[in-house]
Structure 1
Amino acid sequence: MLPKPTFERLKLYHRLLLDVEEEYISSETIARLLKIQPEQVRKDLSYLKTTGKPKVGYKVEELKKELDELFGIKRETAVVIVGAGRLGSALANYQGFAKYGIEIVAIFDKDPEKIGQFVSDLVVLPLKDLKRVVKRFNVEIGVICVPKESAQEVANLLVACGIKGIWNFAPIELEVPEDVLVVNEDITQSLLTLKHLLNRRRNKS
């Protein structure tokens, strides 16, 4: 089991490697580009099978391939979005998911005025079609982009349809069965963290 801080840094290494064209990359180079210590990079990469060569570094393609396997990137994962508001629509329009093996296969809403409208190349579907779509595309992840008042109801519906992973953008702690994974993405909390750091910097100056 990877320590969570290591897992989070490995995601940064993977993103960095996507833009590397050289055959090898050293831990010093990774550290410099990500502003962390080389010793930390080497410790993190020691959890992987790929090993570096002294004075040469890590073979980029081998390292990238192992990280692809770690994050399941080569395995296509179908995702549905519930909530066709601004946030849900922005996620549906984001083209960057494809290079991580993620395909948004459908977007849903309960608002009659939104149903039938297009978001990117997807037509907004009614919630009554959710179970059919989940089964048809073998959907594994559901994204919740609805107000907090509706989030638990949507989570219950996703679970009932067989979804085992939820990416939750609603500011609420969801109650789900133990075998369902939830990742909460609270934009407000992230902004509060940034405001706090800015205030600390101002107070020091």
Structure 2
Amino acid sequence: MPAEKKHKGPIMFPKATLERLKLYHTLLQEEKNEYISSDEIARKLSIKPEQVRKDITYLDYSGKPKVGYHVSSLLDTLDELFGTKVTDNIIIVGAGHLGKALANYDGFENYGISVVAIFDNNPEKLGTYVGELVVLPLDDLGRVIRRFNVKIGTICVPGESAQKIADLLIKKGIKAIWNFAPVILEVPEGILVENEDIARSALTLKHLLDRTPTEKI
């Protein structure tokens, strides 16, 4: 029988463990076999099997000896951890290239996320369509947030405008911000912020690449 969690209480994860659990979740969604071992997970993700087993112990979940983890059961446990079976509505502020790409991304449904509106303050963009969504003015933020019970706002605007947008989102009732602007936002206690710094990630890759030997072809 698939393993079950021993309790329903909240679990505090080290940040590195939580990041790896996200990777396991993605991997298991693509897995076709009924069972998968820690060695297989480790090989596919280029980490140590011991680390995989340690991470999964945080879930109070155990595999089957000599067989491994029951894929659908472990995936259900991770789905519960990340809340993917409960749909959260999100909005996007910024109808530029990045905002449009996020709005058109059809993989969000696998993670319990639904983009319900996209906003911009550029008159030339207002009323145009991004997929099935019409670009709305910022004046409509409060109405949409209340109508769709939105708790997550995504910021895809230039850095100089990000703090102003964050303040406006919080004022209108947003509880969590997914920030793609290259700035550190100042928010009140209790407001969650997840930063996605594309520029910083690019610099990290360039730094590592410059220090990685390459083979001559």
Mapped to 2, the partners of 1:181 and 1:136 lie a distance apart of 21
1:12 equivalent in structure 2? 23
Give 2:42's match in structure 1, choosing from 10, 17, 31: 31
1:170 partnered with 2:170:
no
SS in 1 for 2:134: strand
2:7 equivalent in structure 1? none
The residue identity in structure 1 corresponding to 2:32 is E
Deviations 1:78-108 (A, max 9, x none): 0000000111011101111111110000000
Superposed counterparts of 1:14-163, under 5 Å: 14-163=25-174
Mapped to 2, the partners of 1:170 and 1:13 lie a distance apart of 28
How does the TM-score come out when normalised to structure 1?
A: 0.97
How does the TM-score come out when normalised to structure 2?
A: 0.92
Mapped to 2, the partners of 1:203 and 1:58 lie a distance apart of 37
SS in 1 for 2:212: helix
Contact kept, 8 Å, 1:24 with 1:56, in 2: the verdict is yes
SS in 2 for 1:18: helix
Q: CA RMSD in A?
A: 1.3
The residue identity in structure 1 corresponding to 2:136 is L
Mapped to 1, the partners of 2:215 and 2:72 lie a distance apart of 44
Mapped to 2, the partners of 1:20 and 1:75 lie a distance apart of 22
Identity across aligned pairs (percent)? 64
SS in 2 for 1:167: strand
Mapped to 2, the partners of 1:150 and 1:60 lie a distance apart of 44
1:182 partnered with 2:170:
no
4+ long deviations beyond 2 Å = 202-205
Deviates more, 1:193-202 or 1:129-138: 193-202
Q: Shift of the alpha carbon at 1:203?
A: 9.0
- For the structure 1 residues 15 and 203, does the alpha-carbon distance in structure 2 shift closer, same or farther, using more than 3 Å as the test? closer
The residue identity in structure 1 corresponding to 2:19 is E
Q: Shift of the alpha carbon at 1:121?
A: 0.5
Contact kept, 8 Å, 1:26 with 1:56, in 2: the verdict is yes
SS in 2 for 1:78: strand
SS in 2 for 1:49: coil
Q: Shift of the alpha carbon at 1:133?
A: 0.2
Mapped to 2, the partners of 1:51 and 1:139 lie a distance apart of 36
Deviations 1:84-143 (A, max 9, x none): 011101110111111111000000000111000000110000000000000000001100
- Consecutive unaligned residues of structure 1, counting only runs of 5 or more, are none
- Consecutive unaligned residues of structure 2, counting only runs of 5 or more, are 1-11
SS in 1 for 2:117: strand
